[in-house]
Structure 1
């Protein structure tokens, strides 16, 4: 699994961090999502997929 974030689309809702805090974080200055781990483990895959689904801006992209 390879994860990317389109930071231009991100609306800083923080849903990705709630869903998968080991993979996503937010910049302090504006709340835009940042990727901590672009290659999450198999154990993190369910949470990462959930983060992509709940992202209101659909800014998270997953390549299997």
Structure 2
């Protein structure tokens, strides 16, 4: 019998080449400060990139604005 953990299906979003590029970019980014307005705009624009769904974007904007 084999190890039951070796054939596990990955959990989460499908890893596409674009997503891998965004992850590499995010890991290399410098940490700084942003405003709530910048976060709200980012949350709205993430839908256009396909990183999050419209529902997730709406919830994120709501959280940022509260």
Same fold (TM over 0.5): no
Larger relative CO (CA 8 A, sep 6+): 1 or 2? 1
**In proportion to residue count, which structure has more strand?**
1
* Structure number with bigger Rg: 2
**In proportion to residue count, which structure has more helix?**
2
